[in-house]
Structure 1
């Protein structure tokens, strides 16, 4: 199986999504796929494999980014058009042009959604991809799957986000972690940190109800 992950993100970067993309490419390769990651030109000269601590078991390409209108669309279109034969296009978020073009050219395509489509254009493209016989919509949680089913009448596959615990060895004590993050202790009150989207189903409703009567510090 030949899988090409096409993203308009650049690497390395401090965005958490870049870690996920690199780790997924390495995991796909470990599972037996011939993987290639196509991304924007590098932000720095750092070696991306060393930077993210992943195996060098997949190809990494950074084609030229053209300074033209709708540059992100053009980049995805060119990346998908260059692929030949039997392959799978994998994309995430708002990068919908690459899977759209891949399906038009006879390939298979998967889109990983982390939230609702933000524009009418995205909704139309995502609907077409999800309903295509060679297209697949992947969501990161059962509540998001229900949103797509209820609001857009689209079926999807659930593949929750994960974390590689080996990246957090050696483990820090609570005090060491607070010091590194600059988060102080307020008496005996718990400190709750939430990072992520604010759409329905992420558990925020439960969080707010649970801490309503507590002297908690929310970040």
Structure 2
């Protein structure tokens, strides 16, 4: 099967959507699909190849297409999306393909009469919903990263559930196939051997809930709170805001293949997503949640519907979103009941086996074949 995977994104990128895009292209290739990833031609300060950056097999091809000059403001942003979609339209007209997978509504609109397009839903527009639907209604099928969005699509627009595949994000099991113990990993990563470490990976902005975690760090100075990742600009801002918090350690963005080693080096992992945005509450399917579970390290997570679609109290410890006091209590519960924490972590590690990228790719290809 020939698949065009279209993403309006800088690749590689420090952001989680890059992990999802690269991992899915590789997983689809592992399942026998002939995949071409189409992305914009943008200047990128990350000079390493996509395959090396994400430690994936080079079993798909990448083409960079023009998206027009940089234009300021919201109008410029939308215009570049349209120009990129036009480039994709011209490219798709030159070579036959069996399916197009994209999260771009403009690509879906332009290609739906020419190709079998499968639109991947990562969020819902708050405004101009009818306009959004006009752009994506021609898709042959839909791929939703959680049940909430799938139900909403069917309820509001009358889409048949048979056309919608619920496929949460996932993780790559091979990245966790290493035998180093916690002490070895801490020496390797220059982390203190005798401190209890609470660790977070990802960007340090807004709805990620990192401010709640930083407040918790001030309330538990005996622990070390390690934040791994973020863009250079966000790290500078975050460091300035919390420069007086001695229990916070900021580690610059790391190549994705190193992240599992940080996860195993920690005592507790935190998913502190805020309830302040609808994206965080119900739309997201956090890649870091699957990787946290795969590490086997105890997890503390915000009690949100988006998180509970995957786990419950059998697998993680919950805390009230945006509540540092509740988070502190959850952390203390793990520290005083390590055997219970280990039991939940083991259950989480078993649960996440069902969410590999390869299994997600297999389900998507079955969905495409069923709707052809």
Q: Which TM-score bucket, shorter chain as reference?
A: 0.7 to 0.9
Aligned residues: 211
Larger radius of gyration: 2
| Residues 123-172 of structure 1: per-residue CA shift (max 9 Å, x gap) | 53345534x3x521111122332233334433421112111121133266
Relative contact order, higher structure (CA 8 A, sep 6+): 2
Q: 2:306 aligns with which of 171, 190, 202?
A: 202
Q: Which runs of 4+ in 1 moved over 6 A?
A: none
Structure 1 gaps of 5+ residues are none
1:46-195 aligned at under 5 Å gives the runs: 46-67=48-69, 69=76, 70-84=79-93, 85-92=96-103, 95-104=104-113, 106-120=114-128, 123-126=130-133, 129-130=136-137, 132=138, 135-154=140-159, 155=161, 156-170=164-178, 179=191, 183=198, 186=220, 193-194=270-271
| Residues 95-130 of structure 1: per-residue CA shift (max 9 Å, x gap) | 2111211113x211011112222441x653345534
User: Structure 1 length as normaliser, TM-score?
Assistant: 0.77
Q: 1:151 and 1:191, CA in 2 relative to 1: closer, same or farther beyond 3 A?
A: farther
Q: In the aligned structure 1, how far is the partner of 2:147 from the partner of 2:180?
A: 32
Do the aligned residues in 2 keep the contact of 1:80 with 1:89 (CA within 8 Å)?
A: no
Q: Alignment partner of 2:124: what SS?
A: coil
Of Structure 1 and Structure 2, the greater helix share is in 2
Do the aligned residues in 2 keep the contact of 1:77 with 1:101 (CA within 8 Å)?
A: yes
Q: Alignment partner of 1:124: what SS?
A: helix
How far did residue 193 of structure 1 move?
A: 1.7
Q: In the aligned structure 1, how far is the partner of 2:177 from the partner of 2:130?
A: 41
Do the aligned residues in 1 keep the contact of 2:198 with 2:269 (CA within 8 Å)?
A: no
Please state if 1:37 is matched with 2:48. Answer: no
Q: 1:72 and 1:127, CA in 2 relative to 1: closer, same or farther beyond 3 A?
A: closer
Do the aligned residues in 1 keep the contact of 2:82 with 2:106 (CA within 8 Å)?
A: yes
